[in-house]
Each structure stands twice: as structure tokens, then as C-alpha cells.
Amino acid sequence: MKQLVLLSVVLLTLLLSSSAFSQSFTDKAKKDSAVDMSDEDPAMQKAMERARSGLEDFLRKAGSPPPNTDQYSVKVRVSEGDKQEYLWVSNLKGQGDLWSGRIDNLPIIRSVKKGQSYSFAKTEIVDWTYVDRSQKKVVGNFTTCALLTKEPPGVAESIQKQYGLECDR
């Protein structure tokens, strides 16, 4: 089953001024549109595994952010019947394995809305991100790296370099 992976509002707010994006990527980002990519795509599988391996460290930082870091968000799987969508959630609050925050994307599914409070289990987190202002980079956001594998190599490399995304291509 194909899953939708939404672009990061956190990352894209920072990136939209870039002329480095290909037109299709930029257009979708500006509209906060979904990008259709299977969660079974090898690049997406690798991205989600990278996120899982660093999740505990991320959650500790999100709970007590180091200086010059902000915009902590997680991407979670949201289900509606047999449909699933991945959305970014910020303003995180957690207790054990239960978390909540505010939905940052315009969902395609109708059971949730942008800006609403949303509760989820830690196991539903598939990606995470924050901004490190002292190093001038976006940390995490591995699923965006996976989406960039569908862009021309020059475009993807330019975006990675400009914003400090650590993507393995």
C-alpha cells in the first residue's frame, strides 16, 4: 500500500527562499502539499531507520533543548480507515510512550486538521527534526532526504549543502 509523506513545514519554512529547489518540489512545498512516495521505498525505509536510531536522543533534547536550538518536531503516522498519512507535529509534550503536539501540515485525510492538538504513541514517530542555529543547520529530517532522492542530483546536493542536511545519497 502506498503511503503519503508530507513535506516538513519546519524545514520548508526555512528553505522556500532557496532558488535551488526544482519547480515541482518548490510548488508542493509552498502549497504544503503531500508528496506521494511509498513508505516501502528503500530511501524512505533507510530514512525512517535513521530516525528510529536517534529518537531517544532527540526526545531528550526536545524535553530540555540546548541553547540555540528550536523548532523541534516529529513526523507521525496518522490513520483514517485504510488510509495513512505522515504529518509533522510540533509543540511536543510527552510522558513515557504517550506524546501530544500540534499538527503542522494541511492533511489530506479529514479526521485531523492543521493546528489541532494530536496525541500519539512514541511508536508512531517515523522522523524527527530540529534547527541548530549555532551550526546553521537542520538536524534530522531524514524523510526529506529521502524525498530529495527523487530530485535531480545537483538540486538535492545544493539543498543539502545550503541547509546542512546530512543526507546519505
For the chain, the domains span 4-163
CA neighbours closer than 13 Å in the CB half-sphere of residue 54: 17
Q: How far apart are CA 114 and CA 6, in angstroms?
A: 12
Is 0.85 surpassed by the pTM of this model? no
- pLDDT higher at 114 or 3: 114
pLDDT at 17: 40
- Per-residue confidence at 41, pLDDT binned at 50, 70, 90? confident
- pLDDT higher at 2 or 98: 98
User: Strand (E) positions, the chain?
Assistant: 4-6, 34-36, 69-80, 83-95, 98-103, 117-121, 125-132, 137-140
Decide: 164 and 136 in contact? Cβ < 8 Å.
yes
What's the pLDDT tens digit per position in 145-155? 998 988 898 88
Q: How far apart are CA 12 and CA 110, in angstroms?
A: 23
Residue identified by cell 521505498 is 41
Whether 2 shows a pLDDT value over 70: the answer reads no
What's the pLDDT tens digit per position in 113-129? 999 999 999 999 999 99
What's the pLDDT tens digit per position in 43-87? 999 999 999 999 999 999 999 999 999 999 999 999 899 888 999
Average per-residue pLDDT for the chain: 82
Share of the chain above pLDDT 90, in %: 54
Buried b (16+ CB within 10 A) or exposed e, 142-162: bbbbbbbbebeeebbbbbbee
